[in-house]
Amino acid sequence: MAVTIKDVAKRANVAPSTVSRVIANSSRISEKTKERVREAMKELGYHPNFNARSLANKSTKTLGIVMPNSAKIAFQNPFFPEVIRGISMKAYQEGYGLYLSTGQTEEEILEEVEQMVYGGRVDGILLLYSRVNDKVMPFLIEQNFPFVLIGRPYNIDEDQVTYVNNDNFKAAKTVTEYLMLLGHERIGFIGGNLNFVVTIDHMKGYEQALSNANIPLRKDYIVHHEELQEGGQDAVIELMSIEQRPTALIVADDIMTFGVLKMLADMNVKVPGDMSIVSFNNVMISELSSPTMTTVDIHIYELGFEATKCLIGKINEPNFSVKKVIVPHKLVKRESCK
């Protein structure tokens, strides 16, 4: 005979309603009582039927994660596993599961989000990117559906969107100024996809730093490629074909920087002897490159954790006020600059 909530309540010496609240991880129940009820559940081998609870509560206890493109491509970049690690930790603490989008085109991603919302598959959505002409965010705003953005909204009233981001403009301005302090004036910029807001913010910071120092902006020093190792290799081929080559490079992403370093080595261009490089993200592998990368730590895990914290707040409190959370960044100086 199946174990019921009443059996658990009897074993833990609490009311059945208390057991229900423990299953829902209610903040109204003390940690001591939660521990006692969970121990009773474990002893009796009781497992909550979340499908039945979802029907009763109109809650799935599931969060949707929307990637910028298919997981197959996105997971080649260590940013995404790390941000999902932060999301997973907070989701686990609050008793939520995760539903990952797998669409490859913008149309497929929007269709998938519509299915999540209309089909009641998730309680809220985390957007792991901010696109220039995004279709997903306006849809979620129109549906009044709980969501949080990792990034900065573009061409959308910021008072409508809770988002968690770094100050990417300031970060790029800082690394450009750092290279100028080292004596560089011919500074190249290898950006990611221009459809993404983070790329625009990085470029604006770079341009502002040059302008402040009265260094002319050279359009031929700015190239854009996908944030993959191959993108970094292609960018170097472009920049090294210029007659007056840059002496320093700002690269949008650590994984791109691996491609940059590989191609420069093939061209017999020494780093940092002939070329200094600063990157962004400070993923774990940035310490494994040769030379080790000088990079901006954007605290990826915290981005995911804080975004999930905000989303669960929005789900639990319909009157949750719009928040703007800026996670600090830090320049980590290693061996790739001279």
**Cis link prior to 291 (omega < 30° from 0)?**
yes
**Would you state the pLDDT for residue 206?**
98
308, with CB counted inside 10 A (0-12, 13-18, 19+), is buried
**Would you state the pLDDT for residue 36?**
93
**Would you state the pLDDT for residue 73?**
66
The pLDDT tens digits of the residues spanning 2-25 come to 788 889 999 999 998 898 888 877
Helical axes 31-44 vs 16-23, angle rounded to 10°:
100
Strand partners, 278: 250, 294
Do 141 and 161 meet the contact criterion of CB atoms below 8 Å apart? yes
**Would you state the pLDDT for residue 162?**
97
Distance CA 130, CA 200 (A): 11
The pLDDT tens digits of the residues spanning 75-125 come to 788 999 999 999 999 999 999 999 998 888 889 999 999 999 998 899 999
**Would you state the pLDDT for residue 53?**
55
**Would you state the pLDDT for residue 248?**
98
Task: Give the start-to-end residue ranges of the domains of the chain.
Answer: 5-48, 62-166+301-329, 168-297
**Would you state the pLDDT for residue 187?**
98
**Would you state the pLDDT for residue 185?**
97
**Would you state the pLDDT for residue 105?**
87
CATH topology of domain 5-48: 434 Repressor (Amino-terminal Domain) (1.10.260)
Q: Which residues of the chain have pLDDT under 50?
A: none
CATH topology of domain 62-166+301-329: Rossmann fold (3.40.50)
Kindly report the pTM of this predicted structure: 0.84
**Would you state the pLDDT for residue 234?**
94
Using DSSP, state whether 334 is helix, strand or coil: coil
Question: Does 3.40.50.720 match the CATH number of domain 168-297?
Answer: no
- Same fold for the pair 5-48 and 62-166+301-329: no
How much is the mean pLDDT over the chain?
Answer: 92
Strands across the sheet containing 248-251? 222-224, 187-191, 248-251, 276-281, 294-297, 330-332
**Would you state the pLDDT for residue 2?**
78
